[in-house]
Amino acid sequence: MRRTNLLFLIISCFIVSEISAQPQFFSSSLHKNRSGKPYWYNTVQNGGTGGFEILTGVPMTHPNMGCVQCHGSNDANGNPYSTYDPSCSDCHKTDMTVDQNQCFTCHSRQGAEITVHLYSDVHRTADMKCWACHKSQDMHGDGTTYNSMLEPGAVKAACEDCHIAGTTTLPSHASWDPHNGKLDCDACHAQAVISCYNCHFESQVEHHLKRPKQQIKDFVILGNITKKGKVGVLSFQSLSYQGHTWVAMAPYHPHNIKKEGRVCTDCHANFGGQIDAISDYNADGIMQFAKWNSSDSTLTWLKKIVPLPMDYKRSFKMDFITFNGDPGSPVVASKNWSFVKGEADGFQLMYATPLSVEQMQKLGFNTTWVSVEEKTNEIPNGFSLEQNYPNPFNPSTTIKYSIPEESFVSLKVYDAIGNLVETILEKEQNSGVYTVQFDGTKLASGIYYYQIKTPKFTQTKKLMLLK
């Protein structure tokens, strides 16, 4: 009995101390200072090297944008904000209770995943609330002022908090083990990532009205994320404003997790698998992500897995649409949407301008991209290294090679005087025909050599980079 009372006293003291520390930490938390949004958007942050504002030319403080504020207009008690100052009343009612729906007034994408697209989630199915994973630190801060939620330590919640590899909660897995811990859980277990298609700043800035035609869903795009040091899920955003178009990818944790993860063939176009994005990329070096059909005013887009290739700035191509109807109309008629023609040609939009490498690093990207690699079912008769194509190239080219038996394969690129420029791969591979991409964005024009080496085979070929 005494032991039970002592345990109760210890737990009570812990809870009281945690609660008493929350006001002290809240002032520096992301919920209070909202520093995350200005960090990746505003030009005045980080010495003027900010993000979206540079590309769009739309100031973050524009009165019709409301970017600094969250989407919610009422506090937890239902009272409208007269002047907005982030405080405890955003989430807590007068009696200090919290309704999870209040979370969605700001975290609108999570709300959309539930209410708009009816995505299921194993955690919601189990009646878990936001705070089951996001503990006090995520809600109230830890005393450190973070610039962005993507900074290491800013958000502590992780799948590994509950699911530990090699235990009964997370057994050894055929997809998990070969990646040596470099594959994030959501890469396999996320159902999809929804993404807004064109925020249409024209309408928003001029009329204080957003008119996204629809949301892109049913896809998962993967890239390396600095915060986690793993390959995980990325969000995808596009924009059309004053004739300028751009796309941006950023790390994102989807809250639509399924129990069964993907299998190898869902990400790799081998062993009988067929991934549309990889097939298209290997065929012509382009991922036509979104296509506009002017005859019926509809959009179609790639689905399934979309790996982010090294030459994403050239390979990602999409059509942009804009709203040109009456902004006061509550009806979004299809005829009010039109295709934004680019300057490259009269039919297809020019390659959109993505964020720079520096800006993507700021958003939490690792510059080591997910390579697009394909292995066919063909079993070659011998070792071979084919001529790269295209050649000359700018900035990327495809290299194809064959190995008739399981071998350790090294594929490297050297400059004209024999200095190692890049190691494309060094790993054990099964027999088959492989294609890989080499990106020369950071290299100067000139002659280079690529060499394949196995225990039984070595061959070198010349390639030319022209910028």
For the segment 251-270, the average pLDDT, to the nearest whole number, is: 80
For the segment 421-428, the average pLDDT, to the nearest whole number, is: 85
| Judgement on whether residues 418 and 398 belong to the same structural domain of the protein | yes
Residue 56 in any domain: the answer is no
CA angle (374 as vertex; 373, 379 as ends), nearest 5: 135
pLDDT at 307 over 90: no
Which has the higher per-residue pLDDT, 378 or 237?
A: 237
pLDDT at 123 over 80: yes
Q: Which helix (H) or strand (E) covers residue 15, if one does?
A: helix 2-26
Comparing C-alpha atoms, which of 259, 258, 267 is closest to residue 171?
Answer: 259
Residue 15 in any domain: the answer is no
Cα 332 to Cα 313: distance, rounded to the nearest angstrom: 32
| Judgement on whether residues 415 and 354 belong to the same structural domain of the protein | no
**Which pLDDT score, from 0 to 100, does residue 13 have?**
45
| Judgement on whether residues 391 and 411 belong to the same structural domain of the protein | yes
For the segment 112-122, the average pLDDT, to the nearest whole number, is: 76
pLDDT at 16 over 60: no
| Judgement on whether residues 384 and 316 belong to the same structural domain of the protein | no
For the segment 460-466, the average pLDDT, to the nearest whole number, is: 92
Average pLDDT, the chain: 77
Among candidate residues 371, 399, 427, the one where a domain is terminated: 371
| Judgement on whether residues 217 and 349 belong to the same structural domain of the protein | yes
Question: Please, which pLDDT band fits residue 313 given cuts at 50, 70 and 90?
Answer: confident
For the segment 201-206, the average pLDDT, to the nearest whole number, is: 75
CA distances to 39, 229, 300, 400, 461 from 347, rounded to whole Å, are 37, 40, 16, 32, 38
For the segment 245-259, the average pLDDT, to the nearest whole number, is: 83
pLDDT at 342 over 60: no
For the segment 158-183, the average pLDDT, to the nearest whole number, is: 70
Residue 41 in any domain: the answer is no
Residue 439 in any domain: the answer is yes
Encode pLDDT of 381-417 as tens digits.
899 999 998 888 888 888 999 999 888 899 999 998 8
For the segment 146-160, the average pLDDT, to the nearest whole number, is: 85
| Judgement on whether residues 300 and 383 belong to the same structural domain of the protein | no
Residue 73 in any domain: the answer is no
pLDDT at 170 over 90: no
| Judgement on whether residues 320 and 414 belong to the same structural domain of the protein | no
| Judgement on whether residues 243 and 382 belong to the same structural domain of the protein | no
Among candidate residues 353, 371, 389, the one where a domain is terminated: 371
pLDDT at 32 over 80: yes
| Judgement on whether residues 210 and 263 belong to the same structural domain of the protein | yes
Q: Please count the other Cβ atoms lying within 10 Å of the Cβ belonging to residue 78.
A: 8
Question: Please, which pLDDT band fits residue 167 given cuts at 50, 70 and 90?
Answer: low
pLDDT at 330 over 50: yes
pLDDT at 192 over 60: yes
Encode pLDDT of 47-76 as tens digits.
555 667 776 777 777 777 777 666 678 889
pLDDT at 20 over 60: no
Cα 278 to Cα 255: distance, rounded to the nearest angstrom: 26
| Judgement on whether residues 353 and 383 belong to the same structural domain of the protein | no
Question: Please, which pLDDT band fits residue 134 given cuts at 50, 70 and 90?
Answer: very high
Domain count, the chain: 2
pLDDT at 118 over 80: no
Choice among 178-192, 349-363, 378-392 with the minimum mean pLDDT: 349-363
| Judgement on whether residues 275 and 393 belong to the same structural domain of the protein | no
Strands 446-454 and 407-415: antiparallel
Whether the CB-CB separation of 290 and 240 falls below 8 Å is answered with no
String of b and e for 256-293 (b: at least 16 CB within 10 Å)?
A: bbeeebbeeeebbbbeebebebbebbbeebebbbbebe
Residue 292 in any domain: the answer is yes
Percent pLDDT > 90 in the chain is 12
Percent pLDDT > 70 in the chain is 78
**Which pLDDT score, from 0 to 100, does residue 450 have?**
95
CATH number assigned to the domain comprising residue 436: 2.60.40.1930
Percentages helix, strand, coil for the chain, rounded to the nearest 5? 25, 25, 50
Residue 2 in any domain: the answer is no
**Which pLDDT score, from 0 to 100, does residue 457 have?**
94
Among candidate residues 371, 399, 418, the one where a domain is terminated: 371
Question: Please, which pLDDT band fits residue 23 given cuts at 50, 70 and 90?
Answer: low
**Which pLDDT score, from 0 to 100, does residue 48 have?**
55
For the segment 278-289, the average pLDDT, to the nearest whole number, is: 77
For the segment 151-169, the average pLDDT, to the nearest whole number, is: 79
pTM beyond 0.85: no
Running DSSP on this structure, what letter comes out for residue 143? S
Range of the domain at 291: 158-371
Residue 45 in any domain: the answer is no
Comparing C-alpha atoms, which of 56, 75, 74 is closest to residue 65?
Answer: 56
| Judgement on whether residues 296 and 424 belong to the same structural domain of the protein | no
**Which pLDDT score, from 0 to 100, does residue 8 have?**
42
Whether the CB-CB separation of 374 and 282 falls below 8 Å is answered with yes
